[in-house]
Each structure stands twice: as C-alpha cells, then as structure tokens.
Structure 1
Amino acid sequence: MRRRLRPALSLALLVLLYGPPPGARPSGVPTHGCGTRPLIDEKKTGTQIVGDNEAQLGSWPWLVSLQIYRVFQGGYRHRCCGSLISNNLVLTAAHCIKEWVNPEYWRVVIGLRHLYKRHSHTINRRVREIVVHSHFKVNSYDNDIALFELIKFVEYDDYIQPICLPDIPLLVTDKNPCYISGWVGKEEKGDLKYILQESQVDIIPLYICARHPWYSGHGISRDVICADSASGHENTCQGDSGGPLMCYFPNVSKYYLIGITISSVSCGQQKYPGIYLGTSHFSDWIVSHLRGRTSTVNIKCVLIFLTVKWVTFHLVL
C-alpha cells in the first residue's frame, strides 16, 4: 500500500510546495500589484505633462493597441485602445467592435511606444472571446463597454502591468492628476501618430458638461465622465477610443482606470471635452463576467491533473 501511495503524495507535495503552474491561475481583476509604473518616478514626474506630448517607453504599461486584420492593407492595423486589467483581460469600448465580432480578426499588442515598431518586450496576443455589454446602444453612450479575453496569459514586467479598477466612484481632487494616452493627435481628422501620445486633463463636473453650449442635447448620462485640459485643446480622438482615463492616487501610489474613452465629438475643440464611460458604474458587470472564467491550463498542469486522477482511481480500486 505504501508503494502505491508514494506517487500521489509526491504530486500533492509538489503542488503544495510550488503551487500550480503559471498557466493554471484563474483570470480575474487583481486586488494588489496593479496601477504601478515601474519605469517612472512619480515624485519626479508629478503633474509636469502639459499639452500633447510623446510618452516615453513604459510610461503606461497597461495601455494596449487593439488591431484588426485588414486584407487590403497588408496586415493588422490599429483600431482602438484598451486597458489591461488582468493577465488575460482587456477592457475597451463596445463601439470599437462594430461588425468585427469574430475574435479571430483581432490581436492585442502590449508594451508599445511606436505603433508598428516592436521592442524586445512587446508582445502580441490572439483573442479567445469578445464580450460586449448586452444593453449597448450603437448610437448613444449607453453601456459602451466590452471585454477582450486573451488566448494566452501575459507575463508582467516593467513594461507590462495591469491598471487598478475602482469598486465605487472615487473622489478626484486637485491632488489626483488624471491623464489620457493614445496614438492619435489632437487634430479634428484624428490622424494617427505612430509615437504614443500623453496629455494631462481635468475632470469637468457633469452639470457643466451637459449644459449649453457644451454637450446640451447630446444625451449625457450619469454613467459618463467629462474631461479636458484647461486650454480645451487636449482630449481624445477617434483612434483613442476604448483607451483609459486614468488618475493617480498618491495615498496608495496607484493609478485607477476611472473611465473608458467613448466619444470623439469635435476632438480638440473647446466646449467639447472627451467623454468617458465611468468604470465604477460597471464594476458588477465586469465581475459577473470574470466569474467562471478560468485560465487555459498549460500542458504541465494537465499532466499533473491526469496523473493524480489516475493514481486516485487506482487507489480506490
């Protein structure tokens, strides 16, 4: 009997000592280790970003490029931005998907500065599934949110990190600098800029943003956030859709994903700030789609599971 117990005990001991293989982790929003920028000294950077500037390498390690395959353009092309919220989930805007609902059309590129020039840390990931909010309305700002689930996990490093998500609406004050980032300039036509851009913005109270002559009559709801620079010339444009509105909270030294870019109406014009879907209003939706979503177990974990199952079966017999 002792001889038959040894394989099972050995396997159990290995799992207890070393844990399951990395691929066996369940997907989920991280509760710690999120919202940090290892390559950036926050004390030196502070609020020095003024205007539309080129971001340095590793500035926003959760920002990703969502790219779709274009046959007549010779390969993948940038469609929207997104934010990495776990090691296999990206949060973006639902309107980015449109008719391209098949995940096989897409890839997610992480760790980019130049849109089409790879670095040693840049990685591509194929998409397993796209989840669009069931109450998303195409011609409005309502429920404009979607999740991309990656086929393979990403490994975190100095250039790739997840951003934190708020469970409840967070109070943003002058002590919480907020930023936007993407590959689009501030011109009305929204020409792509191949080098990642970044800007600091201010949160505009909703009662101001919804009134005349701002967005009066455009259906601004309580689920959105308005943000713009003091000059009114730095907000998001078309190619930035799905990207993050991110604010820094010095008390915890973390960045939180406050909003998702959903509108580029008259980008760069005064009285037309960027409109962002407030992520705190959709925390239940995000969590509900995380439940039951486990990672694809790698081959080592499969072999361990099958071996333990085989030994247990024979022990019972």
Structure 2
Amino acid sequence: MFITALQLVFISSLSSGITGSFILTILLFLLLIIPIKQITCCGKRPLLDPPKHLRISGGLSALEGAWPWQVSIQQMSRHICGGSVFSHRWVVTASHCFRNSNNYKLRIVAGVNSRSKYGKGVQYRSVQQVILHENFSRSKYDNDVALLHLHHPLYFTKHVQPLCIMENEMDEKRLSFSSCYITGWGRMLFSTLQEAEVDLIDTGICNQSSWYDGHVNDNMICAGFDKGGVDTCQGDSGGPLQCYSKDMERFYLYGVTSHGEDCALPKKPGIYTRASRYTVCINNLMKYTITVTVKGYVSWLTYFYNLPYQN
C-alpha cells in the first residue's frame, strides 16, 4: 500500500502531537512543489493506453496527448524543427536545425497537438542555450544531435511528459522494443501532429548501393520501409524516433530525425541519429545546470569545460 506525502504529514502530526499552523505550513509547501514533481516517470502517456499491435500505415493525425514529449521548436513563432523533452529543462533535437537561428529568438512549445489551435495544456519556454555536438558534420550529418537548455523548467502534466533515454547501446537489445514510431508536423503541411509506425532497417541493407551506398555509419539508424510511403520530411527534423518496450512498458528515444533523400521514396528511408551513442553525455548534462550564461551557441565540449568540478 502506498502512502502519499499528505498522508505521511497527517500521520506524523498525530503521533507527535503537532497541529495547527505547522501542518498548514507543510501542506502549503507540498502544494507548491507538487506541480513540478507531479509525474516523474518517463516514457508514459497518461492520456492513452499502451500501443496495440495495429500498424499505423501512411501516417495519421495523432490523438491529443499521444506524444507528450514532442515539442515544436520555433523561431519568431514559426515552426522550424521538432524535439523531445527528456527532463524539466532539457530538450534533445538535431544540430542541423540551427544553421542561422539566434537562440534569443528561439522557444519551444510543449503539450501541443494542433499548431493552429493551442489547448490549455500548452507550455511555452524560451531557450537559454543551444548546445551543438562538438563533432557535428553539416555535410555528412554525422553527430547530428543538439540539446536545448530552457530558461525555466517545464511542468510535467498529462500533456507534457519526458521521454526515456537509454543508458547505453546495449539497451537497444535488452529493452526488447516491440514497435517504433515517428512523429512530426512537417513543413507547413499539417497543423495536427502526424504519427506513423516504422520498421528499423539493418544498416547493412541501408548501405547497399541501390540504397544509401555506404553513407550510414554507426552513429545513424535507418527507419521506414523498403517500398517507401512513410517517412519524416523537412520540418520534422529533430523530432523523435521513439520505440516502445513491452518489458518496461515505456517509450524510449531511439533516434533523432536527421536527414534522408527527399521524402518516402523506395529504398530511401529516413536516417536518424542513433540516440544510444550519446546517452552518456546526455545523462551527464542532466546532472548540471548552466551557471554562466554564454551568448549564442555552445558546443558540447565547451559546455563541459564550463561545468563545476565534480569529485
């Protein structure tokens, strides 16, 4: 049987004879912190049941709250890329999204399903820093991953939740993923978030001469179908390739939408940054907050250099 924090305070007060103003003070304190700590379990969808065996083909409009970690990254209120919430103040996305953007004009919109009609569950947060991967190659899209540090923390609600992050590359097999999904709004095509189920495609197949001819390295994943028809496209960049683990009953970030050849062509599936290759850095970054504001963009290496020393 679980005992809530409020029950614990009440029981403690009875046993110790403490009443009145002390209890009221504690209760008010708990009410203040509960919104921030309301839901701390990653990869869960409070408004929807776990995914069924039915395959989503061709893409569908997502239900409200279907992907509570998906955010719209915007510049001057214009959608430029997607991203995934993985903690109160951190969003993971793609480095190539920020070629000409200014971080002072960037914001993320969380808890949004339709970009034409924002509901009550929507949260806006300005971006404090854009942290690009030190070895990102714009020509090859290698290490195409970036982190956004928000000015203020998100509140986790039924509409805004964090996506789970794998601990290491072995988790790709250990977690026994049963299904994987891509999500995004696209570039000015859809106002409602789109979703589709995709297959993970072996790198050996994806590197065949009639496919990507050796372009896909160990930092990348192919996902989609050999016949095409389902893919992420421009404007979906930075969004999640999320996979569901039946064993853990949670969704995990498997990939970050990176690039591809046009959209949904045969033998040209989407290419995603392999999330498990970067989990050590991501998990380390989650332990810290930025103590010195650095204007503009910051590389991962520069960011770590400015972190306080830890024993």
Q: In structure 2, what is the equivalent of residue 212 of structure 1?
A: 209
Cα distance between partner residues in 1 of 2:192 and 2:30: 40
Q: In structure 1, what is the equivalent of residue 240 of structure 2?
A: 244
SS state at 1:272 partner: coil
1:289 deviates by 2.7
Cα deviation digits, residues 105-163 of structure 1 (max 9, x gap): 10100111111321011111111111111111111121111111111111111111000
Q: How does 1:109-258 map to 2 (within 5 A)?
A: 109-169=109-169, 170-171=172-173, 176-184=178-186, 191-217=188-214, 219-229=215-225, 231-258=227-254
1:231 deviates by 4.2
SS state at 1:208 partner: helix
TM superposition score normalised by structure 1: 0.77
SS state at 1:266 partner: coil
Cα distance between partner residues in 1 of 2:30 and 2:277: 35
Cα distance between partner residues in 1 of 2:177 and 2:133: 33
The range that moved more, 32-41 or 273-282, is: 32-41
Q: In structure 2, what is the equivalent of residue 40 of structure 1?
A: 48
Cα deviation digits, residues 168-192 of structure 1 (max 9, x gap): 22128986110001002xxxxx552
1:41 deviates by 1.3
Cα deviation digits, residues 80-114 of structure 1 (max 9, x gap): 000000011100000001121x3211010011111
The answer to whether the 8 Å contact 1:92/1:260 transfers is: yes
Q: In structure 2, what is the equivalent of residue 60 of structure 1?
A: 67
Q: In structure 1, what is the equivalent of residue 58 of structure 2?
A: 51
Which amino acid letter does the alignment assign opposite residue 67 of structure 2? Answer: W
1:47 deviates by 3.2
Q: In structure 2, what is the equivalent of residue 78 of structure 1?
A: 79
1:242 deviates by 0.2
Structure with the greater alpha carbon radius of gyration: 1
Cα distance between partner residues in 2 of 1:150 and 1:140: 28
SS state at 2:204 partner: helix
Cα distance between partner residues in 2 of 1:60 and 1:288: 25
TM superposition score normalised by structure 2: 0.78
Which amino acid letter does the alignment assign opposite residue 177 of structure 1? Answer: S
Distance 1:118 1:20, change over 3 A: closer
Cα distance between partner residues in 2 of 1:200 and 1:105: 33
SS state at 2:178 partner: coil
Identify which of structures 1 and 2 has the higher relative contact order when contacts are C-alpha pairs closer than 8 Å and 6+ apart. Answer: 1
Segments ≥4 residues shifted beyond 6 Å: none
Percent identity over the alignment is 35
Which amino acid letter does the alignment assign opposite residue 49 of structure 1? Answer: I
The answer to whether the 8 Å contact 1:67/1:109 transfers is: yes
RMSD: 2.9
Cα distance between partner residues in 2 of 1:132 and 1:278: 16
1:291 deviates by 3.8
Cα distance between partner residues in 2 of 1:68 and 1:20: 34
Q: In structure 1, what is the equivalent of residue 108 of structure 2?
A: 108
The answer to whether the 8 Å contact 1:62/1:161 transfers is: yes
1:286 deviates by 1.3
Distance 1:87 1:258, change over 3 A: same
For structure 2, which runs of at least 5 residues remain unmatched after alignment? 1-21, 293-311
**Is 1:91 matched with 2:92?**
yes
**Paired positions, count:** 266
Cα distance between partner residues in 1 of 2:278 and 2:218: 12
